[in-house]
Structure 1
Amino acid sequence: MIRNTVLVIFLGLMSYSAGASESAESLLSIASNSGMLNDLAPELKVAGTLTLMSFLPIALIAMTAFTRIIIVLSMLRHALGLQQTPPNMVILTLSLFLTFYTMLPVWEKVEDNAIRPYAAQEIELEAAIEEGAVYVKQFMISQTREEDFEAVLSMANVTVPNDVENVSFSYLVPAFLLSELTTAFKIAFVIFIPFLLVDLVVASVLMSLGMIMLPPISIALPIKVMLFVLIDGWALVSQSLVSSFS
């Protein structure tokens, strides 16, 4: 039962992310064909499908580029000295679009080799899951550091396998998240440096002028915003984030 649930959530995420126009209906069909909802009334089938769909955001965060992107964009906002600008909803929306651009090659492979053959009833559900999981696992492995992978296996008291491609998602997902957090903080550190230099220069100038009572942030903030806009910072950061996964 648990295994089927994981398979349905995974394939539902792939069909939803690939642009399926009727994702709820597709997820319901997948769940029914997997034997999870066969014995339930239609109303309970709908409720079960909606429950499964509530796990899609978790899969999006745990198995895609979303974590790295949203952390970097959020810390960029703090580096600029802006607390609520851009708003969280804007940061979230931009992160979703950048995630879509980053994961599009993976999702296209999953759609072509797993979702469409399954929808055409050319392959079974488990075969579609196994085929689609290969491409997602390849992406996650390519972005996972060996140190984080070994740390997760150590926490789980599992020996390091000879072939990393045969590792279960239960070990690969947390290792992938740890690597994404580490990479995101490294990128954010590099972003913080120029803004920190602006703060130091402004504070030094104000101190030399004897303007001790004037908060440096009131002068540094517009300067940082102006410089960031002049270099087209949002586009540069977005392009750098997408290219960091290649």
Structure 2
Amino acid sequence: MSPLKPAAIISALLLVLPQSASAALPAVISHTLADGGQSWSLPVQTLLFLTLLGFIPAMLLMMTSFTRIIIVLGLLRNALGTPSAPPNQVLLGLALFLTFFVMSPVADQVYREAYQPFSEDKISLETALEKGTAPLRTFMLGQTRESDLALFARIAKVGDIQEAKDVPMRILIPAFITSELKTAFQIGFTIFIPFLIIDLVVASVLMALGMMMVPPATVSLPFKLMLFVLVDGWQLLLGSLSQSFFN
């Protein structure tokens, strides 16, 4: 075989492959729907969906009940004085499933009003996004303090907001996060009080007995666990946490 023949074969392949690759790629097609919106071909919609998947962790952390739940559970563990029990994996799993329970009504509404009509090509992608964010907006507004909304509206120099639907998401999200942090620390304060009293009583008794070398935390831990079990602490805490989102 002459040295020029392989080069000719490679050149021919380079000319043919781009044509076959371009022929295999589907064309991007858009058509107008009945409501006036634009619907794109499946590859573009899939690309947009995959892009939105990157925002799911941030949405889970900052736009749902997850923030309040995980902070309260962490503060409970600190109040009990057990830094490794329950372990982080258990707390994270508990917070995720409790978040799923709390957010189920919102997710069902998003599915009925946004995803299902969009999957049946009854509404456009823009309309689906608008309808899908409405239940989430209602949930966040119900948990957000007016003072926090006013703070970020003043910082963003937004005029008077007459209705809830007029609140921009760029203002609602940080206001919601701020309110959730405040609420979580308020709940954590009420959790700490009984356990702090036990620590003070145990420390006072040990000092009165002259047992200065005995760590109070070691002695108070069984009493904390006993108190938590006697009052059915897990049911009380998780039930109160869940109920706080439905009031």
Q: TM-score range by the shorter chain?
A: 0.7 to 0.9
Q: 1:63 to 1:154 in 2, by over 3 A?
A: same
Q: Secondary structure at the match of 1:211?
A: coil
Alpha-carbon deviations, 1:214-239, whole Å to 9, x = none?
Answer: 11111001211122123221222111
Match of 1:67 in 2: 67
Q: CA deviation at 1:113?
A: 1.2
Distance 2:147 2:61 in 1: 21
Match of 2:116 in 1: 116
TM-score (norm 1): 0.79
Q: Which amino acid aligns with 2:227?
A: L
Distance 2:227 2:40 in 1: 55
Q: CA deviation at 1:131?
A: 1.5
Q: CA deviation at 1:212?
A: 1.5
Match of 2:222 in 1: 222
Q: How many correspondences in the alignment?
A: 208
Q: 5+ residue gaps in structure 2?
A: 1-38
Distance 2:103 2:239 in 1: 14
Match of 2:207 in 1: 207
Contact kept, 8 Å, 1:102 with 1:242, in 2: the verdict is: yes
Q: CA deviation at 1:112?
A: 1.1
Match of 2:231 in 1: 231
Match of 1:132 in 2: 132
Distance 2:175 2:208 in 1: 49
Distance 1:34 1:53 in 2: 19
Distance 1:36 1:122 in 2: 15
Match of 1:179 in 2: 179
Contact kept, 8 Å, 1:150 with 1:160, in 2: the verdict is: no
Any runs of at least 4 consecutive aligned residues in structure 1 with deviations exceeding 3 A, and if so which? 33-39, 48-52
Q: Secondary structure at the match of 1:67?
A: helix
Alpha-carbon deviations, 1:181-203, whole Å to 9, x = none?
Answer: 00000000001000001101111
Q: Secondary structure at the match of 2:198?
A: helix
Distance 1:104 1:36 in 2: 28
Distance 2:198 2:40 in 1: 58
Q: 1:37 to 1:154 in 2, by over 3 A?
A: farther
Distance 2:70 2:90 in 1: 11
Q: CA deviation at 1:52?
A: 3.6
Q: Which amino acid aligns with 1:69?
A: I
Pairwise CA RMSD: 2.1
Q: 1:203 to 1:182 in 2, by over 3 A?
A: same
Q: 5+ residue gaps in structure 1?
A: 1-32
Contact kept, 8 Å, 1:71 with 1:184, in 2: the verdict is: yes
Q: Which amino acid aligns with 1:227?
A: L
Q: Secondary structure at the match of 1:220?
A: helix
Q: Secondary structure at the match of 1:159?
A: coil
TM-score (norm 2): 0.78
Match of 1:55 in 2: 55
Distance 2:59 2:112 in 1: 20
Q: Which amino acid aligns with 2:148?
A: D
Match of 1:245 in 2: 245
Distance 2:117 2:128 in 1: 8
Q: Which amino acid aligns with 1:196?
A: L
Q: 1:50 to 1:108 in 2, by over 3 A?
A: closer
Q: Which amino acid aligns with 2:187?
A: I
Alpha-carbon deviations, 1:33-85, whole Å to 9, x = none?
Answer: 6579649xx9xx5xx86554232010111211111000000111000011121
> Which deviates more from structure 2 when the two are superposed, residues 160-169 or residues 75-84?
160-169
1:161 maps to 2:161: yes
Match of 2:82 in 1: 82
Q: Secondary structure at the match of 1:158?
A: coil
Q: Which amino acid aligns with 1:118?
A: F
Whose Rg is larger? 2
Distance 1:185 1:129 in 2: 33
